[in-house]
Structure 1
Amino acid sequence: MKKLLMLTICFSVTLFFASNALAYTYYPDTYTGGTEGTASKYLYNDDDVVAGSQWKADNWFDVRGMEVGISDNTMFVGIDTDYYTNVANFGTDYGDLFIDDQITDTEWDYVFDTSEESLYDIRDAQDSIRYSDDVGKDNKWTYSYYRHNEEVLIDPTGLTAIGDGTTTGFTNAGRTAGEFLWMSFDITGMNLNPDSFSLAIHWAQTCGNDVIKAHVSTPEPSTMLLLGFGLIALAMLRKRFSS
């Protein structure tokens, strides 16, 4: 009876940690974007963020990280940034979420439009991508305090959505505290292998003052390792229980 109890506990703990490890993954911002086109005094956070010194304390444009989860063909992406409470400052806005299903590729395959709340296949529509320079020219941002040549928006004209979603911002006081811009959308139309795939994800404000990129893989290697150890332990306990 004691061995059976140990077997049950081991199995339950393994499933618990495995399921929670797959629930979400936090990716800290380690990406430094394109050329800033301005003096170094407008860079901060290890040259990661472009903005005037008067905005550093407020972290208006700083992206700290990205949280990603996938469940039942729905992708959840949370951008950890105070920018969502400062959106529309100086004519800026949320950028769109760019996705590449070949992390070594040089072109983006899909994009989630945060304003239309739709997912688009852009493998044959690279000309629909708008860069920070394009938007900056429209808004004439003062002194050009932004990163140049960053993908920030998609022009959906002529494109057909392959999935719907939602965009919202709120304060997250749970597992990862902070101000988050959350996106969720149906990825069925991407035809991914649910057992194993790798994605590159890119997001920035329309000004591109800070950019985050992450490589997302599932199943997570740590999860599979944990599950493997759990199965080994289960096999050993079963062998002892049978004998």
Structure 2
Amino acid sequence: MNAIIKQALTVLALCMATISAQAVSIDDGYNGAGLSYNGDVLGNPDVYQITHMEVTYDSANLYVSVFTNFFEGADSLDYKYGDLFISTNGWRPHGTAANRYGADDVSNGEHWEYALDTDTSDLYSISEVDYMDQLVLSGPGTNFRHNQEVSVNTSKATMVAGETSNADLSGVSSTVGAPGVISYTLTLADLGIMDLSVSTALGLRWTTTCANDVIEGGVSVPEPGVFAIFMLGFLSLALSRRQTTRVR
């Protein structure tokens, strides 16, 4: 193998080990179906509003931060934090961004491959076999957005063996109307992602147990543009070295 190519591959491997992309923001552009309510937040936005997610990654982990006003005890109805749902084959909601996916619910929306339990930090895989049995849904009741997946049914789904993903509640709000953050770290290997040289399309979802506000969205890991820049740099380096060698 040409020495220049070997050097470029070595540099690429080193960069792959340390690369961290700029945060990608998923704004709350999802309403979802449920009840007869078609707005974004059902109830008091100072309690239930989710503004956005921020997603970053490195060579080993995906980091997801959910920015929300909600904290357990913010209302008198005993609603809880939901779980983080992950799709590893892209994000396919029902409907369009123009209608804020207003007809999307568990019957027609994305099927999730994983869920990270916010309470225990355990990661569960969700099978297509008996899919619905592995989910906990919102509702019934007038204070809920109905038929939205809110958490994983830990008695039916399968815990990922040896997983190291986790949830961090240290940044949650404690004041009504003041946003806080729920942070998740997902080990890429736990999600079956082993090769970051290939862009992987992911879907993400989070809500509370009442689903009074829901956020869903898609990202790519890594972003194709990041590696295009790196490869352009490697090509320039190789050409530069080749020209220098010829001059000598």
Give the TM-score, by structure 1 length. 0.70
Instruction: Name 2:96's counterpart in structure 1.
Output: none
Q: What does residue 76 of structure 1 align with?
A: 63
Cα distance in 2 between the residues matched to 1:91 and 1:85:
7
Structure 2: unaligned runs, 5 residues or longer: 1-10, 93-109, 174-178
1:143-177 superposed Cα distances (whole Å, 9 cap, x missing partner): x23322211011101544212423314179xxxxx
Describe the superposition over 1:35-75 as per-residue Cα deviations: whole angstroms up to 9, x where unpaired: 3424xxxx7xxx32221xxx34x2x2111111123335333
Q: 1:234 to 1:65 in 2, by over 3 A?
A: same
> 2:88 matched to which residue of 1?
101
The normalised TM-score by structure 2 is: 0.69
Distance 1:87 1:231, change over 3 A: farther
Report if aligned partners of 1:202, 1:213 keep a CA contact under 8 Å in 2. Answer: yes
Of the three residues 213, 216, 222, the one matched with 2:216 is 213
Number of equivalences: 203
Residue 130, structure 1, aligned to residue 131, structure 2 = no
**1:82-113 CA distance string (max 9 Å, x none):** 21376565221111111122225642111111
Partner of 2:207: 204
Mapped to 1, the partners of 2:239 and 2:72 lie a distance apart of 53
Task: Tell me the equivalent position of 1:4.
Answer: none
- The CA deviation at 1:208 is 0.7
Which 4+ runs in 1 deviate beyond 4 A? Answer: 85-89, 235-243
Equivalent residue for 2:117, pick from 110, 113, 119: 113
> In structure 1, what is the Cα distance between the partners aligned to 2:74 and 2:208?
9
Structure 1: tracts of 5 or more residues without a match? 1-10, 173-177
Higher strand share: 1
Secondary structure of the corresponding residue to residue 226 of structure 1? helix
Residues 187 and 125 (structure 1 numbering): CA distance in 2 closer, same or farther, change over 3 Å? farther
Q: What root-mean-square deviation, in Å, do the aligned CA atoms of Structure 1 and Structure 2 show?
A: 3.0
| Alignment of structure 1 residues 27-66 onto 2, 5 Å | 27-38=26-37, 47-51=39-43, 55-56=44-45, 58=46, 60-66=47-53
Per-residue deviation, residues 102-128 of structure 1 (Å, max 9, x unmatched): 225642111111112100111135212
More helix by share: 1
User: What is the letter of the counterpart of residue 221 of structure 2?
Assistant: T
Quote the Cα distance in structure 2 between the aligned partners of 1:207 and 1:65: 18
- Contact 1:95–1:205 under 8 Å retained in 2: yes
